[in-house]
Structure 1
Amino acid sequence: MDPLTHFLDGPRAVGAFALSMNMSAPWGLAVHDEAALTVVVVSRGRALVNEVLLTAGDVALIRGPEPYSVTDDAGSEPSIEIGPGQHCTTLDGRDLQDELRHGVRRWGNASDGETSLLVGTYERPDEAGGLVARALPRMAVVPHNEADSALVALLEREIANDDPAAQVVIDRLLDILVVSTIRSWVDDPGRSEEPTWLTCRDPLVAQALGYLHADPAAAWTVERLARRVNTSRASLAARFRVGVGEPPMSYLTRWRLTLAGDLLLSIDVTVSDVARTVGYSNAFAFSTAFKRQVGVTPSEFRRRRPALSPAG
């Protein structure tokens, strides 16, 4: 499996929060929902997402859990706050859920405002795919001429559908839209972001990444990896740094710990099991490396995410 395929295999929405948001200016939302990944599509009008202007047909992927803002194109100050669980209030805490609801999956300060957005949210990293949630930039935007308008139209139709089966269709369409948007974003030659393995176009480096992704627990060294791709150690190191933005072994450590974060979302494996799976000989060495990258120990990471267990 090539790296991008491995990455795109992640999104698995389950009862995803999705709605059509209709707004009439002035309006502004401060979003503090702590969701792993949010999809925003402008279906009519214009909006600013984190002060980036989106016009009709544009699609944005917003990586959480950090807060962000969505406002009219004039950048009006937010007067509405969206909290965890998509709870909607005024800034001083007054509940707006019923006041702004206009039917099944329809919400906003107007029933037919000049701006209409489709919003789909992956609440949890295991639904978005931990690799998706960690490898994307803070916000990835695909303009209308590169987005899949037919797919967006299907999603808009299902969001408006009150049939009980609509939620299942929405989940799958949301997954496909995420994958389609990432593919378009990766293929955009005009991106200004720093290089990552997602955007690497060097075939030799892509081959090396494929080996690391396929067997992260192996005892890799730069020399061993260079032999696998039939090049010198120095050449691989130089091309890898240019294509990915960091040295091969530094990347491998981050890849192992990213995978570890996904594995820790399951209550069915121990920390020692996770350590072995991602290439650490003992739980202590794994815990030290994990805390260095994530900021908390594996056990603390797991305790902070009780909603991710199968029982949740």
Structure 2
Amino acid sequence: MYSSTLGRVDVFDDLIRGVRAHGSLFGSSMLTPPWALRFVDGAPLTLCTVLGGAGWIVPEHAEPVALGDRETVVVRGPEPFSFVDEVGTRAEPVACGQHCAIPDRGGTRHRRGWHESGDADVTLIVGAYPVHGEISSRLLETLPDVLRVDSGGTGDGVLDHVAEEVSIDRPGQQVVLDRLLDWMLVCTLREWFDRPGAEPPAWWAAQHDPVVGESLRRMHAEPAAPWTVAALADGARVSRSTLAKRFAELMGEPPLAYLTRWRMTLAAELLVERSSATIADVAHAVGYGDPFGFSAAFKRVRGVSPSEFRRAATA
């Protein structure tokens, strides 16, 4: 049976858990104009921030985004994008992947965890994130191609630690940087969802509601539990009609419809991750005692049977 290891798990906790920096830090690039770094590795999410200067993020199919000192952007992949000193720069693009090329000339120096003292107009710090599974893909669906967060937020303190860590090579550096980048990504997404005039996904705002937020936490902490509207309403200390009305207003669907969709997301991930698990095993893990009832629910939500989904996902 699936359950969370966190007593106070929320929707964001669940969705971001599969987004982790793991040995994927590009490092610190010290740049003097003109420059043009082109990121071609196809990472689902890439975080970029600059120190001591400014530049432009140029996506493949979107408008350029200015990036100022200590500002942060998150770029959604897998399309390539560039970081340039100015739009229309005369610099020749340098292709960057997990190990960025180091040109003989042109002002661009780049190596993972490498630093050289001297003058530079901009230091670029980049972290690329793999995104694993169906669960975290739901987070990506809520994000634009490029999101930008101003300096001065909670991520600034993390950025100071990142800048210090990339300045010299040290044992265990990659692990430290991975953890710092994870922390910085969480801070960046929080601030973007909470920015003035934001239109965050329904679940983000609903988490702060005393009625709906409590019900969401319970369903995410124990999705396989035999939840009813009455049980969820008791947990939130309201009537069933109050919960049903409030949930539909904030989430756009009834509580048990949301629960079914969430269970099917978990099931889709289990079908791929646990190749030895039978359909009955997966059904039981997400709260279904009857594999036939589970298969019918899965096909209704996902459009294919569990077996068809597994074959297509693992092909």
1:171 is matched with which residue?
Answer: 178
Aligned: 1:72 with 2:79: no
The residue type paired with residue 42 of structure 1 is V
Aligned: 1:61 with 2:74: yes
1:190 is matched with which residue?
Answer: 196
Q: Report Cα offsets for 1:104-143 as digits up to 9, x if no partner.
A: 4459xxx9653332101123426xx837854652344332
Contact 2:25 2:174 in 1 (8 A): no
Contact 1:195 1:242 in 2 (8 A): no
Contact 1:104 1:160 in 2 (8 A): no
TM score, norm. by length of structure 1: 0.73
Aligned: 1:35 with 2:43: yes
1:223-242 equivalences under 5 Å are 223-242=230-249
Contact 1:38 1:61 in 2 (8 A): yes
Contact 1:57 1:149 in 2 (8 A): yes
2:215 is matched with which residue?
Answer: 208
1:238 and 1:26 map into 2 onto residues whose CA distance is 57
What secondary structure is seen at the aligned counterpart in 1 of 2:50? strand
The residue type paired with residue 38 of structure 1 is T
* CA distance 1:170–1:144, shift in 2 (3 Å): same
More deviation, 274-283/5-14: 5-14
2:204 and 2:29 map into 1 onto residues whose CA distance is 31
1:1-312 equivalences under 5 Å are 1-3=8-10, 4-6=12-14, 11-29=19-37, 31-49=39-57, 50=59, 51-64=64-77, 66-67=78-79, 69-72=81-84, 74-76=86-88, 80=93, 86=98, 96=101, 102-105=110-113, 113-125=120-132, 130=136, 133-134=139-140, 136-138=142-144, 139-186=146-193, 188-200=194-206, 201-264=208-271, 266-267=273-274, 269-270=276-277, 272=279, 273-280=281-288, 281-282=290-291, 284-285=295-296, 288-289=299-300, 291-292=302-303, 297-303=309-315
Q: Report Cα offsets for 1:2-21 as digits up to 9, x if no partner.
A: 41455565554332333113
* CA distance 1:267–1:224, shift in 2 (3 Å): closer
Q: Report Cα offsets for 1:181-240 as digits up to 9, x if no partner.
A: 334344x35142243212332111100101110121234454553344233444323322
Q: CA deviation at 1:264?
A: 4.6
| Long gaps (5+) in structure 1 | 89-95, 304-312
Q: CA deviation at 1:251?
A: 2.8
| Long gaps (5+) in structure 2 | 1-7
Q: CA deviation at 1:25?
A: 4.5
% identical aligned pairs: 32
* CA distance 1:203–1:287, shift in 2 (3 Å): closer
Output the aligned Cα RMSD.
3.7
* CA distance 1:176–1:156, shift in 2 (3 Å): same
